[in-house]
Chain A
């Protein structure tokens, strides 16, 4: 964060405005002293104001980000700084089936959960945008899954998907559909489906409420005009709602994809990556290897492998947003 360190030499003009003692207009203007410049020049002032945030972010975000990449090239373990071993960790993890499976599952988890969250969220937003009694109340209630800490709702899902006392098994048995309790979190395929469901459950309110905020800025007169011209409700959606909503959809989905891809809590609470590593995401696997197993270097290599995916997601949405700016004519 360097540029605002540069002090400028034509400080005089700002000083007239910024100096704290106004009623001395008749004096010839002296060049401000070094101290005054440190206190009042806007570049320096900016520096002082940025200092607390800058310090925290550089020391605990930028530096660890670099340190993480460095650790991934070492054989560090807990309590041992380790030494540089080049690509050793990477050649090891890319030969490790558990890791390769975790990449595939992370991608599937992100793709499936995000697209369903988007579809259901958009649908819910459209429903909430209609004329409804108790609209404000309904909207507040729908947000509750988003407010309650993920871990705590994950514990509730853990109980709902319990092997012995699952309420879902009980209901299906009573309906005569199954004869044995379903071992939801014990079967690899079912466990994957369950954690994806829990993720969707948790994410839908966020998508819906944000899209609803976007929908509310669309003027109803557009729909009226289109309807008079004979547009069907699908055409109303396709040619009015969707184009006007595109920018906010892009931002919401970027956030949703990023947070789904790096998810940790839900999986860790519900399955710890099991059964037989079937539900390991890259994040949970890196925790498993680095903190539980103690090999920091290997864990760092796994978590650093997420960076290219994240960068790709950010770049895609960045260029999407650039295009949108250009379309709206708000300059470069």
Chain B
């Protein structure tokens, strides 16, 4: 992560040697094609969410790629005639609580591993990395029985406590990278001046690691939002479900799928993350690549 990164457009290299037509064929065309494929599902999501039902189901008289007279009725049904706001609130609540909890634990753990250098610190660091590689899909069965035994079944607390199992390893690993880049001379000075380890952590290290904290926090929120299998397994009542899980079974009456409302739900469920992401793209990218590079 602390490798020198080339300045802005150094990577241009010799591309000025290519002629324009050549660049159109070798660069712009394939790039445009890939971007269309990557973005089409979202276009389709938005379009379906605002398309009146008769146009959705009648593909002979209306060209399905466009919409005539968009409607807000799907969104109205979603927000005012379903439990959707409740599901979104559950998702928010679980995501923020789990992220807060795991950030607290990860900051302490990462600092201890990188800077306290207690015996076996390297060993613990390696174990944390391995913990990140343990996938939820082999943990959900035993975790379900643990959750039931603790009486947490169908409670948001079950999710708040289990999400840190994948958030902590990730955030700790990321923060270890950030803490390593902070010069330890600063810490030595503080120690000489009589600061305790706790004071150093809160007064010296954390202010300097703000970018790392933001990266880890944003990425953790994304991971919580995205989590599916635990929420599907541990929550049974409609009122406590998170938005992604609830949406999969909602708006289906027997054989009739309310595609407009479903797509509106998918759209609204994605928006908070996309907005968050668009404000913090750089942090997001550095979290994504940082966790891999270290």
Instruction: Give CA–CA (A260, B277) in the complex, Å.
Output: 24
Quick check: B64 and A4 within 8 Å, CB to CB? no
B137 touches A286 (CB 8 A): yes
Instruction: Indicate the size class of the contact surface on chain B.
Output: 35 or more
Whether the pair B266, A131 counts as a contact (CB closer than 8 A) is no
Residue of A nearest to B10 (CB): A220
Per-residue CB contact flags for chain B residues 1-18 toward chain A (1 = under 8 Å, else 0) read 001111001111111100
* Residues A22 and B124 in contact, CB atoms below 8 Å apart: no
Which residues 209-252 in A have Cβ within 8 Å of B in the complex? 209-210, 213-217, 219-220, 223-224, 227, 248, 251-252
Residues of B contacting A64 with CB < 8 Å?
139, 142-143, 146
Chain B, residues 97-129, CB within 8 Å of chain A (1/0): the string is 000011011101101110011111101100110
Establish whether residues B139 and A56, one from each chain, have CB atoms under 8 Å apart when the complex forms. no
Cβ-based interface call for B289 (8 A): yes
Chain B positions 167-187 with a Cβ under 8 Å from a chain A Cβ: 168-169, 172
| Separation of A71 and B16 alpha carbons in the complex (Å) | 63
Task: Describe B's contact surface by its main secondary structure.
Answer: helix
| Contact digits for A240-269, partner B, Cβ 8 Å, 1 yes 0 no | 000000001001100100110011110011
Q: Which of A2, A18, A132, A155 contacts B266 (CB 8 A)?
A: A155
Complex contacts, B124 vs chain A, CB 8 Å: 1, 3-4, 50
- How many inter-chain residue pairs (CB < 8 Å) link A and B? 323
Do A21 and B57 have beta carbons less than 8 Å apart?
Answer: no
List CB contacts (< 8 Å) of B125-142 with chain A. Answer: 127-128, 130-131, 133-142
Asked whether A116 is an interface residue with its Cβ less than 8 Å from the other chain, the reply is no
The distance from the CB of B238 to the nearest CB of chain A, in whole angstroms, is 17
Known A56-B168, A129-B11; contact A201-B37, beta-carbon cutoff 8 A: yes
Alpha-carbon gap, A265 to B230, bound state (A)? 11
Check if A71 sits within 8 Å of B44, measured CB to CB. Answer: no
Q: Is the CB of B154 closer than 8 A to any CB of chain A?
A: no
Assess the B161–A56 pair: CB atoms within 8 A. yes
Interface centre among A146, A152, A291 (most CB of B within 10 A): A152
Query: If A50-B124, A60-B162, A131-B12 touch, does A45 touch B146 (CB 8 Å cutoff)?
Result: no
Interface residues in A57-105 by Cβ distance below 8 A to B read 57, 59-65, 67-68, 71, 76
> Nearest-CB distance from A267 to chain B (Å)?
11
Proximity string of chain B (280-294) to chain A, C-beta cutoff 8 Å, 1 when within and 0 when not: 010011001100110
CA distance A50 to B146 in the complex (A): 23
Question: Is A276 on the interface with B (CB-CB < 8 A)?
Answer: no
Tell whether A46 is near chain B: CB-to-CB under 8 Å. Answer: yes
B39 touches A141 (CB 8 A): yes
Shortest Cβ distance from B1 into A: residue: A213
A3 touches B119 (CB 8 A): yes
Residues of B with C-beta under 8 A to A123? 30
B35 within 8 A of A: yes
A162 to chain B minimum Cβ distance, whole angstroms, is 8
Q: Are A159 and B44 in contact (CB under 8 A)?
A: yes
Pick from B68-76, B77-85, B267-275 the stretch touching chain A. B267-275
Question: Is B59 part of the contact surface with A, judged by Cβ < 8 Å?
Answer: yes
| Partner among B45, B119, B131, B133 whose Cβ is within 8 Å of the Cβ of A43 | B119
> In B1-55, which residues have CB < 8 Å from any A CB?
3-6, 9-16, 23, 27, 30-31, 34-35, 37-39, 41-42, 44-45, 48
A155 touches B247 (CB 8 A): yes
Q: Is B191 an interface residue (CB 8 A)?
A: yes
Distance of B29 from chain A, by nearest CB (Å): 10
With a CB–CB cut-off of 8 A, which chain B residues contact A54? 109
B144 within 8 A of A: yes
A215 touches B266 (CB 8 A): no
Shortest A85–chain B CB gap in Å is: 16
What residue in chain B is nearest A159 (Cβ atoms)?
A: B259
Q: How far is B288's CA from A299's CA once the two chains are assembled, in angstroms?
A: 32
Complex contacts, A46 vs chain B, CB 8 Å:
112, 116-119, 121
| A220, B247: Cβ atoms closer than 8 Å | no
CB-defined contacts of A286 to chain B, threshold 8 Å: 137, 141
When the two chains form their complex, are residues A165 and B266 in contact, meaning their CB atoms are under 8 A apart?
A: no
Tell me whether B202 is interfacial, beta carbon within 8 Å.
no
In this assembly, does A314 line the interface, its C-beta being within 8 Å of a C-beta of chain B?
yes
- Closest Cβ neighbor of A284 among chain B residues: B137
B237 is an interface residue with CB less than 8 A from chain A: no
Interface: B86 (CB within 8 A): no
Per a CB cutoff under 8 Å, which of B13, B16, B119 touches A4?
B119
Bitwise interface map of A from 170 to 189 toward B, beta carbon under 8 Å scored 1, else 0: 10000000000000000000
**Complex formed: what's the CA distance from A130 to B10 in Å?**
10
Contact A144 B123 (CB under 8 A): no
A223-B15 Cα distance, complex, nearest whole Å:
11
Chain A min CB distance to B216 (Å) = 13
In the complex, which residues of chain A have a beta carbon less than 8 angstroms from the beta carbon of B11?
129-131, 215-216, 220
Contact B135 A262 (CB under 8 A): yes
Do the beta carbons of B263 and A61 come within 8 Å of each other? no
The reply to whether A65 and B108 form a contact with Cβ atoms under 8 Å apart is no
Q: Are A170 and B118 in contact, with the CB atoms below 8 A?
A: no
B292: contacting residue among A20, A63, A251, A268, CB under 8 A = A251
Q: Is the CB of A130 within 8 A of B288?
A: no
Contacting residues of chain A (127-181) with chain B, CB-CB under 8 angstroms: 127-132, 136, 138-153, 155-157, 159-160, 162, 165, 167, 170
- A–B complex contacts, Cβ < 8 Å, 9 sampled: A64-B139, A144-B274, A147-B222, A152-B269, A153-B41, A153-B266, A155-B266, A159-B262, A287-B137
Give the 4 A-B residue pairs with the shortest CB-CB distance, closest first.
A46-B118, A3-B120, A49-B112, A262-B135
9 extra interchain contacts, Cβ-Cβ under 8 A, other than A65-B139, A147-B222?
A42-B118, A54-B109, A63-B142, A127-B31, A159-B44, A170-B64, A220-B12, A255-B292, A310-B138
